[in-house]
Structure 1
């Protein structure tokens, strides 16, 4: 692409390249900034921790299929043994029907110790939870990619702003140098009575304005660099020098792809459908568990005529079936809630899809206009530079006034700023286009 001179006698300032990637020592490219952020940015670190949590949750739900073994032990001392009513006919066959005798059974000391085993053979809720956590893990991974995309978008914007401010400073430095040179000439002419004092004051004012503008731009440049360091996750004291060459790709086109927002909505849809399916199954399918227990029971007595503590083994194994007959329509109410959530999810999918299509069309127009503006302002800089050079020559010949020189200088500076604004508009529109077409992390 054509190189643009910033001012008269100004060396090559701004390279606009296609696919150029020059790496200098101690210079951070935009990709290096993003690679650093992937490691040190705290938001991405938290997102990775959330992914690790979701993996553990998935393992936790799968662990419900593993047999569970518990141990139980208890000791009871009965100060009053429990009573039972026994029919009198047990002791006296001639006792009338319907008469009872109270009696105490057992011994004061009771000890129980056992191991219990439980293992689900079939449980719709366990299998449904496993499926749900698997989908949730996918959703968490998409959230990480979303955070990564946001960080890349933020770093790119900051980097572009820093590049533009860098070149604004370069333009101001050259303009200031030319204005200072002009001021010296005007002061010399004034001393020789060839220029008025007001002419000198006008140039002094311009020098002062440029100096103030330089201080303001320098402050903004440092602020943007600090924000870039923060986004990267590095210390503010870190020395950071950006790549001054702006990579301007004016022929780049991106293939439409599903954005992360749409993929996240689809994953939420799968999760809601899975939850509805699990709730439906829990109403009609039983739960079957394998159970078992082995232990001992001890009975003790410490009275007369003899004290004793005897233990007796106990154990069993079996299958336990549980079938919900009626739970007060709680499950149905949960299903109804999930169905409404699913409808909202589908509406959100349509809304985001339509919004994305609209935004893609808008950003394509913005990029097209910005591209045209870059080409136009490039020509304007060349034209303004030519006018300035010719005005300087005419001024030296006495055919142009100082006002003409200052006006030509202002026109050149306005063209320079318009050019930089057009470049940044194009770069931001291009970045937004990448994001809306799902290519921001693919084409970086």
Structure 2
């Protein structure tokens, strides 16, 4: 078989970023973000379609301008543990901040999910964009970019070391000798870094996939370096094939420069397919969705890159305000691009907001066949290794599963059955050897 697409499904309850009115759609329950039954329903659709994983995004800071789903939603690892009990093959990926969690806590929670799910867990590492999160965790100020990404690099390494606390055969469970554990195969972490100090062993074993899969999302130079050096799958966005290919090439090049293989990382853009019987019908629906967003909602979504700054205090038709360093600790990449574009083009606040909240026509809008064509093209052209579906209505998700997936299967670029019962196995990723077992084996081979 040739290259195969990998497809994950994200669930946002009543809407993701910028979706303020989706909760009113009669297809959805207004409290869908709080009902584990709805997450289970989505995961089962995904598993029936043989998708690779079920993805839960998260954030822990809200304001009056936050989209409805952000205001009330379940904590990822708690709900994924519940989903694990009613699924058997699909991967379970949860978002947890590297900025506001300790290595031991992260390691134990994901190792638990990995064992509960029999090797299907994945950690989506985020550094947290929202400045206000600091107050929720007793800090006066949000970490700056350098510290956020420094912490992220360090915590991933420490967590992975903690996951190797026990070698795979550390527990003989020998009733005859009374040996429960072989303590020579238990290893304590002794880490003293710039951001974390960790001493001791994790009190949980590795799963059949060795370690949870590391996912990452970030487009800044620091984010790209973090992904290239630590991630095994990267969640990104690409407005067109040219941009997708550029990002794909950049990450793979950075990975090789970091001493990894290009194939060690999967690039997975998020897409929101709109499927109709004709391309015209699909485009009309896409335009209707764009038209229903009033300016005040666009302004609210726009403000997130600036730490949810209150832009209503300005004259919308005056030049874009001088914000100084505002946004540097939150969405620096986007906020810097916004300020630069507004200044270079002499835009007003209203013009700037409309420019940056306008969604260009998506390549993934059309019939089931045209969407399958686009996915096949992007895969062949080196724009992606797979996608993460960001659909929010059950009807859209069903239509992708029922119409697009069979076309991909017929073309031989998507599985008809799961290849494995672990997330790593289905993503085609290697099982990482326990570092202590590997070191002992190397020592044995090189010993004179």
TM-score of the pair, normalised by structure 2: 0.21
The structure with the larger Rg is: 1
**Bigger fraction of residues in strand:** 1
